[in-house]
Amino acid sequence: MLRAPAPCLLPGLVGLLMLGACSRPVAPLPHRVLGVHADADSPRVVGAALLTEGDSLDELLARHPRVEPDAALTATLTAILADGGQHLRWSAAPVEDLTCDNGDVRFRIQVRTPPACRERGCPVLAFYSTGCPEPAYHWRPEFFLRAGFIYAEPAVRGTACGEAWARADNGPLRVAAATDLEAASRCLRQRFTRDGEVPQVGIFGWSYGGNQTLVGMTRFAGSYDAGFALAAKTDLASFLSRLSPELRRAKAVEYGDPERDAERLRAISPITWVDRVEAPIALKLGARDPKVSLSDADVFVRALQARGQDASLMIVPEHAHLTERPEEIAFEHAHLLQFFTARFGVPLRVDMRP
């Protein structure tokens, strides 16, 4: 359990974060944190809960309530955000570009390793998003590095590392492109096996990355030892059927048409492979998210729980599709750290040394 230190007793870093003397206030956090997704809090991703007829929001909120993370951990992550990379810069250290082959397809995985894990085995977390990995400071890897995780960002097909690569999982290409998830896990396990000990590998992400997480945990069950999906769709056919005709046509390029491509949508939807899940899995959704069905997620998680699987869903009443405010970021990442340390059986410690 983390203990929140008294502000005047914090070592070394304390004075740096406290703007001098203990009698002076800590600098206020910004409304937005740099580096958040461009869609965060935009009108088109903030709205009413998406529910199936017959489902009650109150019932779903009661079944999958908001849970507060550890307060001391949340405060520690908030302090890292407030520092903004001025003194806490492990994520700015040189990165490793790991080459991964998947048949005749080659992609890279950008890897950051904390100091303590350079000579010993540590668990690995794979973060998926549409962005192309950048070797610069960022508060997200900073959180996980300081908690003792090797942090990996696979640039699989569909990431924005060039226009052609970003389109490489569109439409009919998506079924084959998803096999990069399995290949990435295999490459990470091979790279970080030490003295015959294979590392545990987790997977997480938001929205598109959340969907990658669910596919990795379902269709490619066994590739990852635990997964945490945020703002993720569990049923793509259901998702597309709820869109306006205009938006449905736009999304058809990326996923497929609900009528013409029903079989493909079934193949790329996590709900299709839900019976394969064999490792712990957690989902987090916002009740103000107009893109992701709370009802679909409820069906997905209850199917897992019915067969005794370690599965959970948390619905946060005030959250929308993506988060951008410091308190939201600290809340979500505290849950992520608690989940992965508990499932991997490692101590929850955050190293605050510069």
The reported pLDDT for the residue numbered 311 is: 98
- Model confidence at 26, pLDDT cuts 50, 70, 90, reads very low
Region label for 28, one of left (φ > 0), alpha (ψ between -120 and 50) or beta (otherwise)? beta
Strands (E), 216-331: 226-230, 281-286, 311-316
The reported pLDDT for the residue numbered 177 is: 98
The reported pLDDT for the residue numbered 31 is: 58
The reported pLDDT for the residue numbered 36 is: 66
3-state class (DSSP) for residue 9:
helix
Adjacency order of strands within the sheet including 105-112: 96-102, 105-112, 150-154, 124-128, 201-206, 226-230, 281-286, 311-316
The reported pLDDT for the residue numbered 11 is: 35
**Of residues 250 and 22, more confidently modeled:** 250
Please answer whether residues 353 and 12 qualify as being in contact, where contact means their C-beta atoms are separated by less than 8 angstroms.
Answer: yes
The reported pLDDT for the residue numbered 43 is: 66
Residue 302, pLDDT above cutoff 80: yes
The reported pLDDT for the residue numbered 17 is: 38
The reported pLDDT for the residue numbered 243 is: 77
Q: Return mean pLDDT, the chain.
A: 89
Token code pair at residue 107: 């992609």
- Model confidence at 42, pLDDT cuts 50, 70, 90, reads low
Helix (H) or strand (E) holding 97: strand 96-102
What phi and psi, each to the nearest 5 degrees, are found at residue 156?
A: -75, 170
Task: Kindly report, residue by residue over 160-210, the tens digit of the pLDDT.
Answer: 999 999 999 999 999 999 999 999 999 999 999 999 999 999 999 999 999
The reported pLDDT for the residue numbered 323 is: 85
Query: Above pLDDT 70, what percent of the chain?
Result: 88
**Of residues 52 and 229, more confidently modeled:** 229
The reported pLDDT for the residue numbered 48 is: 83
The reported pLDDT for the residue numbered 79 is: 97
The reported pLDDT for the residue numbered 58 is: 95
The reported pLDDT for the residue numbered 291 is: 86
Average pLDDT over residues 283-311: 96
- Model confidence at 46, pLDDT cuts 50, 70, 90, reads confident
Task: Kindly report, residue by residue over 72-86, the tens digit of the pLDDT.
Answer: 999 999 999 999 999
Task: Kindly report, residue by residue over 313-329, the tens digit of the pLDDT.
Answer: 999 999 999 888 899 99
The reported pLDDT for the residue numbered 251 is: 86
Q: Please state the pTM of the whole predicted model.
A: 0.90
The reported pLDDT for the residue numbered 41 is: 67
Residue 289, pLDDT above cutoff 50: yes
Q: C-alpha angle 107/113/119, rounded to 5°?
A: 120
The reported pLDDT for the residue numbered 324 is: 82
The reported pLDDT for the residue numbered 18 is: 32
Q: C-alpha angle 86/90/92, rounded to 5°?
A: 75
- Model confidence at 3, pLDDT cuts 50, 70, 90, reads very low
Options 3.20.20.140, 3.40.50.300, 3.30.70.890, 3.40.50.1820; CATH of 33-234+269-344:
3.40.50.1820
3-state class (DSSP) for residue 112:
strand
Residue 213, pLDDT above cutoff 60: yes
The reported pLDDT for the residue numbered 14 is: 35
Task: Kindly report, residue by residue over 262-279, the tens digit of the pLDDT.
Answer: 999 999 999 999 999 999
